Structure 1
Amino acid sequence: MENVIYSIGVDIGTSTTEIILSKLKLKNIIGASLVQETIIESKEVIYKSPIEFTPLLDTVTIDFEKIKVMVEEAIKQSGVEKNSISTGAVIITGETARKENAREVSEKLSEYLGSFVVATAGPKLEALLAGQGAGASELSKKLNKKVINLDIGGGTTNVAVFNCGSCEETFALDIGGRLIRFDHEGKVIYISERIEFLLKLMNLDIKLGEQISLLELKALCLKLVQCLLEASCLSELTKETKRLFITEEPKVFTADVISFSGGVAEYIGTSIEVTRFEDLAIYKDIGPLLGICISEAFNKYKDKIILPKERIRATVIGAGNHSLTISGSTIAFDKSILPIKNIPIIKPFTAEENINKIFSQGKKQLSLYENTTVAFSLIGPKSPSYKELKVISEEIIKLYKEIDGPIIVILENDFAKALGQIVSLMLKDKRQIICLDKISTKNGDYIDIGLPIGNAIPVVIKTLVYKDVALQSLDSK
């Protein structure tokens, strides 16, 4: 059996907004355990929208109606019917995520697109999707090496560290190409409050309404690039760089390959020179200059650097092509409550799991989600015995006595159907059950679960709070 589903990705960034539509082909196969399972066989981007400036009503408000028109036009041009879109992601990134109506725009757009489309936010997820869309995840798996992807946009830099295909770490900083903007005469019209401390520290005379010096702009860009070197663990972390982190600081790592994506990456490794303000006239910001300074500062690491084919569109391609996960086929679910969105995930064991302590460990985290439907996540035994399934079921039932809503269990190993059946038999009250497997999560993630596609369930794992190639070498430019 083959199924084709359509996915949309919408990235509303600090500088630009991009939209893509993709065709995902699902296929049923017989797995190693001789059980039929559904996989995503192929992903194809069938439409890319023009890259347009993100529309704003004023400095603090996104223009939702214009965004909606852009999305409507993209769907029309793709030739895909809106009601045929069954998954995807709406991501508001960088400084745009801090606009007063960012959450409202995300929710409205998700609602307009349909009940299966997922609205997501948070720099950690953006870093992951950008790394996947740029091909850094695939490259690290292919090379069996550690790859760091720096996605540098208008307001933020989102960083993901991949090791042999797995994402080990994500973090973000307030470094981007739109932190300072000016008009055609070179007068400053915007300074991000996030870097005001740097201007003071460096004694740079950059003020609103005043003419700006190209030398001072370059000095600022070189400082921001030094911060990127430090964040990439290529230099010691200073207190100035620490202040630019949106998320927690990364653990020390050594990357074998360095990849750049995002709008600023379009200027890395180019022969463009900035010697006058006219050279910055396209965007009237520091983006081109920042990209050139990155080329200079990272030149000593040029043997490690690659530039993905997809740079400015990396995040939106990640959102459209990599946000969807297909659950295993040996699952249990109550269709009447699907689709459901934004369910917080409790994963009580950070190290070795003890099935006899599921209740005691899980209860510690329930206080964070009072009167809220939650999903419980386990790796679980690889081939659990009936006795083990019974113990797990008893512990989960005891835990859910203190939780409103359906019982939702997310397993990494493949035994969801058996567990769901035993939980159902042991329950004394009527309660809806969803038990999914072959899904890896982290504590603090959220889950969206869609309607079944054949005998599988589409799932999106996401991070809503702050807390997957074509390549060319830099030398070839």
Structure 2
Amino acid sequence: MSSSLIKETVIEGKEIIYKSPVIVTPLLDEVTIDFNGIKDIVSKALKESNIDKNQISTGAVIITGETARKENAEEVSKNLSEYLGDFVVATAGPKLESLLAGYGSGASEMSKNLSRRVVNLDIGGGTTNVSVFNCGECEQTFALDIGGRLIKFNTDGKIIYISKRIEFILKEMNLNIQVGRKPKLQNLIHICEKLSNCLLEVCCLKELSEDTKRLFISEGYEPFETDYISFSGGVGEYVLEDHRKISIEGTQKHNDIGPLLGNCISREFKNYKNIILSPKEKIRATVIGAGNYSLNISGSTIAFEKAALPLKNIPIIKPFEKKENLNEIYNKVMKKIDLLNESMVAISLIGPRSPSYEEIKLIGNQIIKVFKIVSGPLIVILENDFAKALGQVISLNLEEKREVICIDKISTKNGDYIDIGLPMGDAIPVVIKTLIYNS
């Protein structure tokens, strides 16, 4: 293999040839996803799009939101990937989902273009996922139990479900909202106004209350100064609509409080209209596919252990976008690693062009420190050509036996995934996958 750098995947263009309707995830019960139901939905979409699944080279299966909390979420994502082919598979935790929605809605791009902080609130059925971007870079993500399907109705308007996560609020507010009964519109408005106020608080536009703190799913919230706000997700479709239109019919559109919640958010945020941006995508603010490139890497310039291979769909963390500080590798990686709901990761670095032994040892020690917390083999991807030396240094300094894989001459970015196959002679096959968004 030549010593020239293998460039990262660049998506030069995309064309959407089919969009399926938005469909509520089929469930067998409140804690179990109906895999056969999902498979039927996908099969129908393939048929309507006139695409043979054997023609699809790669894609993405990412389970998010309330569905990701179901007991068989990971099993369903794996089975669906096997049914479709060589797809990126992820069961996104709240932090990763927040990040994906921030990219998919266009909030990251808007933040970069405006050189300002943009807060994106992706409000779905069961959760609100918040991402904070400053000049295009994600500063933090977090999630709350606020969504449109926290209260659900049957076709007669009677409540069939109330999320346990908001029962304490209903009790504190003394609202007569009960399963099996038709609720009063004003009571529904009161709970939606309360949840809308919670969103004002997490945008640092009001003081954070104890009730809002109890709704947090994830930890690590840090106050910030809000420049702009955008709303995505299913409930986001109803934000900024005419907030004077409030009626019980609003709950019948999807048999939940989603439209009413969006309406109340519009009213509660009316004093901040001047800083609210319209996202490029709302309910479809997510991943729409994946692109990939494949290569074979010479075994003479890299370090790997055959026993650890093959590996598939390993998320890549790139701690530095531009200038690297070798002493900060551990700290930078740990800030990004909690976004992922994965047990294994790969760390991507540019690295010095002609590193000294001391620099290689410093990088190695930082990597070892990270993988004391992360399970699985130590996987490092370098742009510059010193993978074999780094792999040897890491192996020599490990306190316990771990598989080490170091490969070089590859450029990646955060959010990419890597497949590493079984050796073929003195080379190993590598596939880099990058997620594609609609925005």
Q: Indicate the TM-score class for this superposition, using the shorter chain for normalisation.
A: 0.7 to 0.9
Distance 2:371 2:5 in 1: 33
Contact 1:375 1:409 in 2 (8 A): no
Matched, 1:458 2:426: no
Tell me, what secondary structure is at the counterpart of 1:161? Answer: strand
Question: Residue 418 of structure 1 is aligned with which of 373, 376, 386?
Answer: 386
Matched, 1:37 2:7: yes
Q: Which residue does 2:338 correspond to in 1?
A: none
Give, as a single letter, the amino acid of the residue that structure 1 aligns with 2:432: P
Contact 1:273 1:279 in 2 (8 A): no
Q: Which residue does 2:215 correspond to in 1?
A: 244
Matched, 1:258 2:240: no
Tell me, what secondary structure is at the counterpart of 2:193? Answer: helix
Matched, 1:284 2:255: yes
Give, as a single letter, the amino acid of the residue that structure 2 aligns with 1:261: S
Distance 2:357 2:172 in 1: 64
Q: Which residue does 1:408 correspond to in 2?
A: 379
Distance 2:123 2:31 in 1: 22
Cα distance change, pair 37–218 in 1 and its aligned pair in 2 (3 A) = same
CA deviation vs aligned residue, 1:88-118 (integer Å, no higher than 9, x gap): 3323233222323223212221222234432
Q: Which residue does 1:17 correspond to in 2?
A: none
Q: Which residue does 2:187 correspond to in 1?
A: 216
Please report how far the alpha carbon of residue 134 of structure 1 lies from its aligned counterpart in structure 2 after TM superposition.
0.9
Distance 1:398 1:189 in 2: 51
Q: Does 121-130 or 183-192 show the bigger shift?
A: 183-192
Question: Residue 29 of structure 2 is aligned with which of 55, 58, 83?
Answer: 58
Tell me, what secondary structure is at the counterpart of 2:176? Answer: coil
Please report how far the alpha carbon of residue 206 of structure 1 lies from its aligned counterpart in structure 2 after TM superposition.
0.6
Tell me, what secondary structure is at the counterpart of 2:21? Answer: coil
Contact 1:75 1:81 in 2 (8 A): yes
Matched, 1:233 2:233: no
Distance 2:92 2:61 in 1: 8
CA deviation vs aligned residue, 1:242-263 (integer Å, no higher than 9, x gap): 0000001521111221110011
Question: Residue 172 of structure 1 is aligned with which of 105, 124, 143?
Answer: 143
Distance 2:66 2:375 in 1: 36
Please report how far the alpha carbon of residue 326 of structure 1 lies from its aligned counterpart in structure 2 after TM superposition.
9.7
CA deviation vs aligned residue, 1:337-370 (integer Å, no higher than 9, x gap): 34424579898xxx96449x99xx9xxxxxxxxx
TM score, norm. by length of structure 1: 0.72
Contact 1:389 1:419 in 2 (8 A): no
CA deviation vs aligned residue, 1:377-419 (integer Å, no higher than 9, x gap): 37564434243465358759999999997552145xx32x322
Question: Residue 433 of structure 1 is aligned with which of 387, 402, 405?
Answer: 405
Tell me, what secondary structure is at the counterpart of 2:286? Answer: helix
Distance 2:417 2:370 in 1: 18
Cα distance change, pair 231–51 in 1 and its aligned pair in 2 (3 A) = same
Q: Which residue does 2:155 correspond to in 1?
A: 184
Please report how far the alpha carbon of residue 288 of structure 1 lies from its aligned counterpart in structure 2 after TM superposition.
0.7
Matched, 1:303 2:303: no
Distance 2:152 2:263 in 1: 17
CA deviation vs aligned residue, 1:151-204 (integer Å, no higher than 9, x gap): 001110001111111111111000001111122333211100000000001010
Distance 2:242 2:211 in 1: 30
Matched, 1:93 2:67: no
Tell me, what secondary structure is at the counterpart of 2:10? Answer: strand
Q: Which residue does 1:377 correspond to in 2?
A: 347
Cα distance change, pair 61–36 in 1 and its aligned pair in 2 (3 A) = closer
Please report how far the alpha carbon of residue 148 of structure 1 lies from its aligned counterpart in structure 2 after TM superposition.
0.8
Please report how far the alpha carbon of residue 427 of structure 1 lies from its aligned counterpart in structure 2 after TM superposition.
7.4
Structure 1: 5+ residue stretches without partners: 1-32, 362-371, 462-467, 471-477
1:324-335 alignment runs, 5 A limit? 332=302
Distance 2:393 2:133 in 1: 42
Tell me, what secondary structure is at the counterpart of 2:12? Answer: strand
CA deviation vs aligned residue, 1:310-336 (integer Å, no higher than 9, x gap): 21111244xx359x7999x99957697
Please report how far the alpha carbon of residue 279 of structure 1 lies from its aligned counterpart in structure 2 after TM superposition.
3.5
Contact 1:123 1:172 in 2 (8 A): yes
Distance 1:128 1:95 in 2: 16
Tell me, what secondary structure is at the counterpart of 1:184? Answer: coil
| Between structures 1 and 2, the one with greater strand share | 1
1:91-170 alignment runs, 5 A limit? 91-170=62-141
Distance 1:397 1:130 in 2: 29
Contact 1:118 1:460 in 2 (8 A): no
Please report how far the alpha carbon of residue 268 of structure 1 lies from its aligned counterpart in structure 2 after TM superposition.
1.2
Contact 2:64 2:92 in 1 (8 A): yes
Tell me, what secondary structure is at the counterpart of 1:186? Answer: coil
Distance 2:243 2:211 in 1: 29
Q: Which residue does 1:10 correspond to in 2?
A: none
Give, as a single letter, the amino acid of the residue that structure 1 aligns with 2:7: E
Tell me, what secondary structure is at the counterpart of 1:216? Answer: helix
Distance 1:98 1:373 in 2: 17
Give, as a single letter, the amino acid of the residue that structure 2 aligns with 1:420: K
Q: Which residue does 2:336 correspond to in 1?
A: none
CA deviation vs aligned residue, 1:12-32 (integer Å, no higher than 9, x gap): xxxxxxxxxxxxxxxxxxxxx
Contact 2:317 2:348 in 1 (8 A): no
Tell me, what secondary structure is at the counterpart of 2:379? Answer: strand
Give, as a single letter, the amino acid of the residue that structure 2 aligns with 1:293: C
Tell me, what secondary structure is at the counterpart of 1:290? Answer: helix
Distance 1:426 1:181 in 2: 54
Distance 1:425 1:133 in 2: 39
TM score, norm. by length of structure 2: 0.78
Q: Does 195-204 or 391-400 show the bigger shift?
A: 391-400
Q: Which residue does 1:16 correspond to in 2?
A: none
Distance 2:367 2:125 in 1: 48
CA deviation vs aligned residue, 1:4-55 (integer Å, no higher than 9, x gap): xxxxxxxxxxxxxxxxxxxxxxxxxxxxx98452431324233211112221
Please report how far the alpha carbon of residue 274 of structure 1 lies from its aligned counterpart in structure 2 after TM superposition.
4.6
Cα distance change, pair 233–286 in 1 and its aligned pair in 2 (3 A) = same
Q: Which residue does 2:312 correspond to in 1?
A: 340
